[in-house]
Structure 1
Amino acid sequence: MILNFPPPSNWQDFQLLTLRLVEQVCDPTTVREYGRQGQRQNGIDVYGEMFGGIHLGVQCKQMQPGKQLTLKLIQEEADEARSFLPYLDTFVVATTVPEDTALHKSVTKLNSAKTYPFKITYWSWAHFNDSLNRSSRLVEENYKAYAKAFDLNEELLELEALREAFDRPAFVDDFHHELNTADFLTALGETVLFLQTGLLRDRASQQLLRGSYPLGMLPAGECKKLRAQLLTELKSLRAVAIKHHTNGQLNVSRAPEYNARRYAVIATVNEGLATHNLLPVRPQYQL
């Protein structure tokens, strides 16, 4: 289910939502809120350090319906952000306005001109709406009552996140066709990290794909039991893979064993998915 969440009605709630989103795309320990009305620091309301050492600064623009974000306004805010310390790598104008393709093109052109010492982008409300639909934690902390009215709950989002995490080549492809065993081990490690932290990221871009609570913060219940069980099973699989990983390779003769172990993990995932009639993860191999 995809919901269209309404933008917050006041700047305080919008800035808090922005802060929570930045906590998911950055190292949470680095995220700081500078913005109080009339107290911005060099045009920055929220700051965070992304993984890889990228300094991110966000200016929040809670705009009334009918208002429009312009390139001129973005440039004015970017001019203020030049002197922010530490110096930024990425500057974001976060807004409650709809997506504007023409503005995106103008911002891309501005970045190509390298007028500013950082990359400029903007988050339309579509960006926030997509993030909310992918994060049970954002919904729980900001739109709990609204989501409940549409029967969208934390448990459903949690299960959808698990499905996305395991419906990937590292789990569904026949191990005989595994091209890079280092990638296989990396994928297992990333999935273990997701089960622990609740954050599922794209390997190449580090973009957040799904966001949930860390395992320790999940409320007691079936979802927490399921994630804990999957974590135990996946750690066991990864330990075996590391043990068998010699000279940069895994023994292909063990493919049936890896297929069986992964099949068992997917069976556990599918048991959880079935409780909400979600589509199962389908391996591309048979036992």
Structure 2
Amino acid sequence: MALPKTSCAQRGARTTVTTVSQFFQPPLYWQQFEDLAHGMLGEAYSIPDAQQYGRTGQAQNGVDVFGRSRKYGWIGIQCKRLSDLDKDGNPYPGGPITRKFFRDAATEALAFQPSLSIWILATTARRDTKVQGWVNQLNDEWASSNRDLRYRRAIVWSWDECIAYLNSFPELQRWYYKDVIQVRGTADLDKMILQTIALAFSRPAFEVPLLCESPAEFLQALSDTQRAVRTGELLDRESRHVIRKSVGGWRDLGDREARDGLDFVDKRLRQLRSKLEQGRKDKKIREVDGFLDFTDSVLARELEDLRGECVNALNGVLSRWNLPTV
């Protein structure tokens, strides 16, 4: 398939034509994303000796991967990272792009040596027209500059562009699944779904006492968590963009025991949301100084128990899979 004009075709990245387009599991961990960016740069711009730059998970001068194209000169990629860290202390990949982040990252990349002709910001977030507008604006500013900036271009690779590359290059596709995210069967896909759901539970709504939560934020957290359990999509709390996506939700799990366990979690989340909403209608739950306050201690205990059942059931599934609990 042809790549979007706003990305690869904009600066002549190489593509091939395929007849079938399929979805690909985004990388769950930083090293996977950096490896994929390395592979895409090599394929798209015919740079067999592209290199990863700096320490893992820490862009230096706005660049994680770079290489030299015969046609376009030096090209650098920064892989968007979240502030949350995994068990190894590395950031999770992806996340939404704000205008400030984009401008700051582009400015930082100006210090990279050798000087770049193309700077690419890659993210596992979906394509965003606002972001493309910022890219076009920056490129216009650079083009009208009297400095060497007029020869530089910025590009954003969303996960949509990454999917297009994976669909365009069969060897890249096979390498990504086999060696990067290491999907060799149903069990690997199940593991990815469970890891995404576990990350969705790693939030204050399931960690701090209920009295420390505001009603609106707690309800939103429950809704977002239930969405992750059912669809495998995890939303950023503030931007509402998808920041992590697995191949599906609990119904897509191949392991029946895990599927039954997550079915139980989904039902308890639904009960928790329902009781919370009804309690607010009945004025048994109110907001005092921005936090939850209960006039019915029995209801408060029921909500705490339901929340605990969700976490315990999830941890039971994670333990059977030898995955970190929440």
Aligned to 1:193: 227
In structure 2, which of residues 281, 288, 312 is the aligned counterpart of residue 267 of structure 1?
A: 312
Cα separation, 2, equivalents of 1:144 and 1:105: 29
User: Structure 2 length as normaliser, TM-score?
Assistant: 0.47
Aligned to 2:217: 183
Q: CA deviation at 1:196?
A: 1.9
Query: Is the CA contact 1:176–1:255 (under 8 Å) kept in the aligned structure 2?
Result: no
- For structure 1, the 5+ residue unaligned runs are 1-8, 23-60, 75-99, 133-138, 282-287
- 2:257 matches 1:222: yes
- Please list the CA deviations of residues 177-222 of structure 1 after superposition, one character each: whole Å capped at 9, or x if unmatched: 12x1101011111112222222112122313223231444443623
Seen in structure 2, the aligned counterparts of structure 1 residues 153 and 12 have a Cα distance that, compared at 3 Å, is farther
Seen in structure 2, the aligned counterparts of structure 1 residues 233 and 203 have a Cα distance that, compared at 3 Å, is same
Cα separation, 2, equivalents of 1:177 and 1:264: 19
- Please list the CA deviations of residues 50-76 of structure 1 after superposition, one character each: whole Å capped at 9, or x if unmatched: xxxxxxxxxxx72332364659999xx
Seen in structure 2, the aligned counterparts of structure 1 residues 105 and 278 have a Cα distance that, compared at 3 Å, is same
Seen in structure 2, the aligned counterparts of structure 1 residues 122 and 268 have a Cα distance that, compared at 3 Å, is same
Aligned to 1:257: 302
Cα separation, 2, equivalents of 1:234 and 1:124: 32
Cα separation, 1, equivalents of 2:310 and 2:117: 42
Cα separation, 2, equivalents of 1:274 and 1:156: 12
Query: Is the CA contact 1:195–1:215 (under 8 Å) kept in the aligned structure 2?
Result: yes
Query: Is the CA contact 1:170–1:188 (under 8 Å) kept in the aligned structure 2?
Result: yes
In structure 2, which of residues 232, 236, 256 is the aligned counterpart of residue 202 of structure 1?
A: 236
Amino acid at match of 1:226: G
Cα separation, 2, equivalents of 1:144 and 1:16: 19
- Please list the CA deviations of residues 64-95 of structure 1 after superposition, one character each: whole Å capped at 9, or x if unmatched: 32364659999xxxxxxxxxxxxxxxxxxxxx
Q: CA deviation at 1:233?
A: 1.0
Aligned to 1:115: 140
Amino acid at match of 2:321: H
- 2:188 matches 1:153: yes
Cα separation, 1, equivalents of 2:117 and 2:267: 44
Cα separation, 1, equivalents of 2:265 and 2:183: 27
Q: CA deviation at 1:163?
A: 1.2
- 2:98 matches 1:63: no
- 2:206 matches 1:171: yes
Query: Is the CA contact 1:158–1:223 (under 8 Å) kept in the aligned structure 2?
Result: no
Q: CA deviation at 1:237?
A: 0.7
Seen in structure 2, the aligned counterparts of structure 1 residues 143 and 20 have a Cα distance that, compared at 3 Å, is closer
Aligned length: 196
Cα separation, 2, equivalents of 1:122 and 1:204: 21
Cα separation, 2, equivalents of 1:71 and 1:200: 37
RMSD: 4.7
Seen in structure 2, the aligned counterparts of structure 1 residues 124 and 251 have a Cα distance that, compared at 3 Å, is closer
Cα separation, 1, equivalents of 2:138 and 2:193: 42
| 1:185 alignment partner, SS class | helix
- Please list the CA deviations of residues 150-179 of structure 1 after superposition, one character each: whole Å capped at 9, or x if unmatched: 99811222221121111211111111212x
Query: Is the CA contact 1:10–1:62 (under 8 Å) kept in the aligned structure 2?
Result: yes
Cα separation, 1, equivalents of 2:228 and 2:235: 8
Seen in structure 2, the aligned counterparts of structure 1 residues 257 and 104 have a Cα distance that, compared at 3 Å, is farther
Amino acid at match of 1:264: E
Cα separation, 2, equivalents of 1:220 and 1:152: 8
Query: Is the CA contact 2:196–2:228 (under 8 Å) kept in the aligned structure 1?
Result: no
Seen in structure 2, the aligned counterparts of structure 1 residues 71 and 197 have a Cα distance that, compared at 3 Å, is farther
| 1:279 alignment partner, SS class | coil
Give the percent of matched residue pairs that are identical in Structure 1 and Structure 2.
23
Query: Is the CA contact 1:215–1:228 (under 8 Å) kept in the aligned structure 2?
Result: yes
Cα separation, 1, equivalents of 2:272 and 2:224: 13
Cα separation, 2, equivalents of 1:145 and 1:106: 26
Seen in structure 2, the aligned counterparts of structure 1 residues 148 and 185 have a Cα distance that, compared at 3 Å, is closer
- For structure 2, the 5+ residue unaligned runs are 1-13, 27-42, 50-66, 77-107, 122-133, 142-153, 167-172
Aligned to 2:324: 279
Amino acid at match of 2:318: L
